[in-house]
Amino acid sequence: MAKHQINPNNWISEYSDYLFHYTISRVNDREMAQDLVSETFLAGLKSMSNFKGEASERTWLISILKRKIIDYYRKINSNKGKAEVRMTYNNESEVEGDWLEEHVADPFDQTAEDKLENSELGDAIHECLGKLPQKQANVFKMKTILGYDTETICNDLNITPSNLWVIIHRARTALADCMEKNWF
C-alpha cells in the first residue's frame, strides 16, 4: 500500500505558502511566483494518476514546481535571445590600478551563499509553520510575515486583541522550539 495519499482539496491551505516562498526566493517576482504556484497545482491535478505515494504530496508538488521554474527561466532566456554578460573596464583611467577598486566586491552586498542560506532558513521556517495549528499559523503569518496591525487581524478573524496575543505567544513558543531543533 502507498505510504502517502493524495488529497487535492487541502493543497491550497496546506502547501500554497510553502510553494510560494520556495518560488519567490528563486524568481524574485511576486506575480510570477503566484502564477507558477497556480500552474503547479493545476499540473498536479492533471497528473494525479502519476502519484505513486512513495513521497509526500508536498515533495511531489515541489518536484513539479521545480520543473515549472526551470521552464520559466528557459523561456525568459530564449525571449531575451540568450543572456549576455558584458563588463566594461575603464580604459580611460589615467591612474594605474583604479579599476581594481571599482570592481572590488561590495562587502555589504548579499552573496549567493547568503541568499541560499536565507532561502533555506525560510524553508525551515515554513516547515515549522506547517506543524502549527492552522489558526496559530495564520495569525502568526499575518502579524509577523505580512506585517498587518493588531486591529486589522482582529477584525479579519473576529478575535479580541487578548486572543491574538495568546495565539501569538503559543505560535512563537512552538516555532522557537521547532527552529531550535532544526536550525539554531
Partner 1 sequence: MKKSFLFISCEEAQHICNKRQYGEATGWERMKLGIRLSWCRITRAYSNRNNKLSEIMQKSDVSCLKDDERSNMQKQFEEELAKHQ
- In terms of CB distance, is 48 or 90 closer to partner 1? 48
Under rule CB under 8 A, residue 29 binds partner 1? no
25 binds partner 1 (CB under 8 A): yes
CB of 159 to partner 1, least distance (A): 15
- Least distance CB 37 / partner 1 (angstroms): 7
The residue range among 56-64, 83-91, 99-107, 161-169 that interacts with partner 1, by the rule CB under 8 A, is: 161-169
Question: Which residues, numbered 3-22, are part of the site for partner 1 (CB under 8 A)?
Answer: 8-9, 11-12, 16-17, 20-21
Candidate residues 45, 70, 76, 116; the one interacting with partner 1 per rule CB under 8 A: 45
Q: Position 50: which residue type?
A: N
Reference 56, options 126, 120, 2; nearest CA is 2
DSSP annotation string for 68-119? HHHHHHHHHHHHTTS--------TT--STTHHHHHTSPPTTSPPHHHHHHHH
Task: Please state the φ and ψ torsions of residue 39, each to the nearest 5 degrees.
Answer: -60, -35
The number of beta carbons lying within 10 Å of the beta carbon of residue 57 is: 19
Count of residues of this chain found to bind partner 1 when the rule CB under 8 A is applied: 40
Q: Which residues contact 167 (CB under 8 A, 6 or more apart)?
A: 135, 136, 139, 140, 159
**Within a 10 A sphere around the Cβ of 130, how many other Cβ atoms?**
14
Q: Which of residues 74-133 bind partner 1 (CB under 8 A)?
A: 118, 121-122, 125-126
Residue ranges that bind partner 1, judged by CB under 8 A: 8-9, 11-12, 16-17, 20-21, 24-25, 34, 37-38, 41-42, 45, 48, 118, 121-122, 125-126, 141-146, 150, 156, 165, 168-169, 172, 175-176, 179-180, 183-184
